Amino acid sequence: MSTLSSKHSFTNPTAATVVFLFFAAKLSTILAGSPHDINFRSPNLFPEGLAWDPTGQHFLVGSLRHRTISEVSDAGVVQTLISDPSLPENVTILGLAVDSLNNRVLAAVHAQAPIPPLNALAAYDLRSGHRLFLSALPSAEGDHERAIANDVAVDFKGNAYVTNSAGNYIWKVNEKGEASIFSNSAKFTEHPGIIGEMYSSCGLNGVVYNGKGYLLVVQSNTGKMFKVDADDGMARLVLLNEDLMAADGVALRSDDVVLVVSSKRVWMVKSNDGWSQGVVFDKIDLDDEGFPTSIVVGERERAYVLHGRVMEGILGNSAESFKIEEVRFPRESEGENVWMYVMVGIGLAYFLFWRFQMKQLLNNMNKKIN
Ligand SMILES: *[C@@H]1O[C@H](CO)[C@@H](O)[C@H](O)[C@H]1NC(C)=O
């Protein structure tokens, strides 16, 4: 009896509210945490491509010149997963995609001048690191520029789709490694590219496979997005409320939200009509010092951007430290906080009600005892 009575001050609703708000603040930081930056070191790695391997629970990154694919853990530990010295020296591993069905990683391979031209898709076993195939990507008739195999997406059957940033078309490589030109739509060249920018010569770039039978592809020098049928390659412009200029990498969340990254910002794009139209729901500016190029969705639907300092590498500088940065969108966090307060409010109401009942009970017991 005396122990219960001694907590009398706690029945004061103001004190209870203060305690609860304190817990609410604590709880929201514990649940959401602060955004996670993963710093990792690897001399002159200069990774451009980023993928998330859900089985291994780590990131995969390529390299500007090392002919490697490396694992990066949450704690920033780097390990070379694949090293392929049979590729020509200094060749670039660009876009990466994990084919979970076949337990392999697919990599867009590109040789930049002055190395002799090479554009290929390489497939490696994720466990052993053995190469399964290296498929040369064919040129289209009338190609007058050196092709650039840039990004790759994989569908649920193991077919890969690779963007050609110079020729503005898409290759397909089936699971056996047979390559063909898949989509060379006139839509891809309908809009004039911006002139005089570093990315002016870069057309089709980031690509994702949306589980519903189509690809979403962005184009750097126009800021446009296309929806491409994964069966017949037919392309349509996705009508957006703004151009995503310098768009590079793309990632898809399981709620159908598309994230697009450039070296300066991330756009969050939503559609409610199956990607005939889309709207930029939110955008955040990035620190462009690390030259962000790729974005992935990792564990718990969290978005991460790669700062691989590729431009410094192209300019011939050295660098050892690179970063994978978690990005959060203010508009979404606001929504989460509202829910947090609603939940805490309900909790508080329950608590006060419980206190009230306890008090009643005590009173009744006191009456009985006396
Ligand atoms: C590869 O790059 C290194 C350093 O940039 C250079 O010294 C070497 O000549 C290059 N090799 C080829 C085959 O281009």
Amino acid at site 303: A
Residue identifier of the C-alpha nearest atom 13 of ligand 1:
89
Span 54-73, mean pLDDT? 98
Measured in Å, residue 62 CA sits from the centre of ligand 1 at 18
Give the closest residue to 206 by CA, choosing from 146, 269, 143: 269
Q: Does the CB atom of residue 317 touch ligand 1 within 6 A?
A: no
Q: Does the CB atom of residue 113 touch ligand 1 within 6 A?
A: no
128: which 2 tokens? 């052993």
Count, residues in the chain: 370
Question: Which of 63, 64, 66, 90 has the most ligand 1 atoms within 8 A of CB, as the residue to mutate?
Answer: 90
Other beta carbons within 10 angstroms of residue 198's beta carbon come to: 10
Residue identifier of the C-alpha nearest atom 14 of ligand 1:
115
Measured in Å, residue 90 CA sits from the centre of ligand 1 at 6
Measured in Å, residue 149 CA sits from the centre of ligand 1 at 21
pLDDT in tens, 272-326: 999 999 999 999 999 999 999 999 999 999 999 999 999 999 999 999 999 999 9
Q: Does the CB atom of residue 318 touch ligand 1 within 6 A?
A: no
- Which atom from ligand 1 is nearest to the alpha carbon of 114? 14
pLDDT above 60 (res 1): no
Q: Does the CB atom of residue 115 touch ligand 1 within 6 A?
A: yes
Span 262-267, mean pLDDT? 98
Measured in Å, residue 340 CA sits from the centre of ligand 1 at 55
Question: Which class for 264: exposed (0-12), middle (13-18), buried (19 or more C-beta within 10 A)?
Answer: middle
114: which 2 tokens? 């002055």
pTM, rounded to two decimals: 0.86
- Which atom from ligand 1 is nearest to the alpha carbon of 90? 1
Q: Does the CB atom of residue 90 touch ligand 1 within 6 A?
A: yes
pLDDT above 90 (res 153): yes
pLDDT above 90 (res 21): no
Q: Are strands 249-252 and 258-261 parallel, antiparallel or unpaired?
A: antiparallel
Measured in Å, residue 221 CA sits from the centre of ligand 1 at 29
Residue identifier of the C-alpha nearest atom 4 of ligand 1:
90
The SS3 assignment for 117 reads: coil
Residue identifier of the C-alpha nearest atom 8 of ligand 1:
90
Measured in Å, residue 65 CA sits from the centre of ligand 1 at 9
Where does the pLDDT of residue 357 fall: very low under 50, low under 70, confident under 90, or very high at 90 and above?
Answer: confident
Q: Which residue has the higher pLDDT, 345 or 148?
A: 148
The fold for domain 36-327 equals: Neuraminidase (2.120.10)
Other beta carbons within 10 angstroms of residue 294's beta carbon come to: 29
* Contact indicator for 67, 93 with CB cutoff of 8 Å: yes
* Contact indicator for 275, 226 with CB cutoff of 8 Å: no
pLDDT in tens, 200-230: 999 999 999 999 999 999 999 999 999 999 9
Q: How far apart are CA 292 and CA 304, in angstroms?
A: 10
Q: How far apart are CA 62 and CA 25, in angstroms?
A: 40
Span 131-155, mean pLDDT? 94
Span 343-353, mean pLDDT? 85
Residue identifier of the C-alpha nearest atom 2 of ligand 1:
90
Q: Does the CB atom of residue 89 touch ligand 1 within 6 A?
A: yes
Question: Which of 44, 89, 110, 314 has the most ligand 1 atoms within 8 A of CB, as the residue to mutate?
Answer: 89
